[in-house]
Amino acid sequence: MTAHYSVHEDVAVITLDNPPVNGLGHATRLAIVEAMEAATDDVRVRAIVITGAGSGFSAGADVREFGTPSAMQQPSIHTVIAALESSAKPVIAAIHSLAMGGGLELAMGCHYRLVTRGAQIALPEVKLGVLPGAGGTQRLPRAIGLEAALNMIVSGRVVSSDELSDSGLFDLVVEGDLLPGAMKFARQAAERGELPKLRDRRIDHVNPDAFLQFAQNTVAAASRNFPAPLKCVEAVRACVQRSFDEGIGVERKLFMELMNTSESRALRHAFFGKRAAAKIPDLPRDTPVRTVTQVAVVGAGTMGTGIAMNFLSAGLQVTILETRQDALERGVAAIRKNYDDNARKGKLTQEQVEQRMSLLTPTLSYDDLRHADLIIEAVFEEMGVKESVFRALDAVAKHGAILASNTSTLDVDKIAAFTKRPHDVVGMHFFSPANVMELLEVVRGEKTAHDVLATVMSLARKIGKTAVVSGVCDGFIGNRMINQYLRQAGYLLDEGAPPEQIDRAIEKFGFAMGPFRMLDLSGNDIVWAIHKRHAVERPDLVYSKTTNLLCEMGRFGQKSGAGWYDYKAGDRKAYPSPAVNDMIVQQSRDIGLERRVISDDEIVERLVYALVNEGARILEEGIASKASDIDVVYLTGYGFPMFRGGPMFYADTVGLYNVAHATRRYGKGYRGEAWKSASLLERLAEVGKSFND
């Protein structure tokens, strides 16, 4: 059973029990209705308490039912709430830990709501491209006021029950044990005989029309490409201007409209993709994990300090190693500065800053890494440097320690071979800034042990990262694909498009940053080094020479004050550079290529389809186990527009036939060899299937 029914003298208790978060799937909804009928028919029962087992009250809809007939099967969530609200006996929601989405809507359908301190309260549906669809937009404004409710609904923000304790949403904050307190309250409610309903409350606001117009203007400006936030405002407007039943009708209509939008489908794909990323086909769910309480980081530069902060913030002891005292001191100072900055912004208390810094041990000696359970190398991206580090680690690390490399492109199997314990070696590719970026590429070597992989995936959750497993290849998933994207960007320069047009076109498509602004931020010299390495190791990869010429001009990006764009002191705005554009035009002449006008549509197709085609190859080779893993990498690590769902999902929406046709067409043009279609793409296009089928 997904809900349990019991009677305690004169109080019936319905306990939701559908792990992990008491999702309101069909079986649970049916169990609630049956329990309500039993309580109604039992003459002993004077009041009803509904609560949640385990980790919380309820997080709402059961995500396992999304997109299936069960999601709308009767009794629906609306039917369940109607049963609670219309009960002739008082119904009390006893909330602990969390009440989100449909779980909060269920609670708002009860006559009374009790809560423990620190419970997480939210209506997060907007993050899936929809709005609360079970009365949330109509009841929450009546409970906590128009402005506070609209802010919660439009943002999907999680709010502590402490913040809402005086709002009118809760009738009592229970200080002791929840269930005994709830049963005592239930008996008192039965004595009073009152059955208050949130639907009957009035909304008091000085000038609701003016506020709603202001909210609409503000939301419209902030939610470009996402229709759900504006629909939330529309639903709440109905709450103010119409009767409750009419407002519910508007809410349901808007909910169904949003469910069918491409934006909502993309956001739901991303939501499920993140969860699916943790499921590794050949890794049993019961694989044991190694104990990790002490972490070491080799390298106190930008990446090393950012990596260290992830573990310090999670309460783990961290030893950070450098070869020079001045570099070590700069690294520790950078960590301190980051935490102090967070404290000034109110994100941390000073006590929390000091607690985290107390977990950090700086050192210049490899001997001090002997007790670490996990050691992460974050040194210069050059195989010789990696070799010296891993040979040193192999000599000092204890038996069972996990040795991880933060390499972004190099062969993890070669790195593992520098040790006598390749089964303990794994790639942990953090993205910069490592203490902020959500993505962690976990690179599984040929000999990486199952328990090492399981441990790293578990640790990723602990430090708040979305981890995606990649096999070993040059650049893994993300950088291997971005290399093809950047090759096309270079070819577009050769053919006639200036950097500012290319950036503008892809940013209009929805990317956070175009390729040339991105390169100026990360450093053009990094790409230059990759081109030099590929000239020896991968002569089949031909690049535009413009990057090399740019770097020979000393234009490495923002760090040197000039890159693809010009920059002014104290100003990060990118200004088109006449000198760079002259260099690009001259390069076209030098290779005998007549420049042409290139449309923005062609720019977007070539950049995005280059990602898609390489992604298909990655799937063919088993580097990624599923298309959604690739989408998660690009949504969380590379600024791909969230409302488009990732490159592989976007290709599915365009139609793989159209993508394959375009790759063949571009294969007849300049540098057509870069457009050899992946056989998986061609095969799926031919039979009318998609990557995510």
Q: Which of 85, 105, 441, 500 is catalytic?
A: 105
**191: exposed, middle or buried (Cβ count in 10 Å: 0-12, 13-18, 19+):** exposed
Give me the CATH code for the 3-258 domain, please. 3.90.226.10
407/341 Cα distance (integer angstroms): 28
- Low-confidence residues in the chain, pLDDT < 50: none
CB 195 within 8 A of CB 47: no
Q: Report helix, strand or coil for 361.
A: strand
The Cα-based distances of 461 to 275, 652, 672 in angstroms read 11, 29, 42
Give 478-687's CATH code, choosing from 1.20.1250.20, 1.10.150.170, 1.10.1040.50, 3.90.850.10. 1.10.1040.50
Q: What is the pLDDT of residues 530-560, one digit of tens each?
A: 898 888 888 888 999 999 999 999 999 998 8
Q: Which residues pair with 298 in a beta bridge?
A: 321, 377
Does residue 105 have an active-site annotation? Answer: yes
463/676 Cα distance (integer angstroms): 40
The C-alpha angle 5, 9, 15, rounded to 5 degrees, equals 25
CB 159 within 8 A of CB 147: no
Please, how many CA atoms are within 13 Å of residue 191, restricted to the half-sphere of its CB?
6
pLDDT at 533: 87
Identify the sign of the CA torsion 683, 689, 691, 693: negative
Q: Which of 125, 263, 495, 614 is catalytic?
A: 125
Q: Which residues pair with 321 in a beta bridge?
A: 298, 363
Domain ranges in the chain are: 3-258, 297-470, 478-687
The Cα-based distances of 450 to 293, 372, 455, 459 in angstroms read 19, 20, 9, 14
Architecture of the CATH domain 297-470: 3-Layer(aba) Sandwich (3.40)
pLDDT at 95: 97
* Token pair of 116 as six digits: 């423990």
443/464 Cα distance (integer angstroms): 18
Does residue 621 have an active-site annotation? Answer: no
Question: Which residue, 361, 422, 362, 365, is CA-closest to 390?
Answer: 422
Q: What is the pLDDT of residues 177-203, one digit of tens each?
A: 999 999 999 999 999 999 999 999 999
pLDDT at 70: 79
Q: Report helix, strand or coil for 649.
A: helix
Question: Which residue, 547, 506, 542, 491, is CA-closest to 666?
Answer: 491
pLDDT at 63: 72
Token match 């990790």: residue?
292
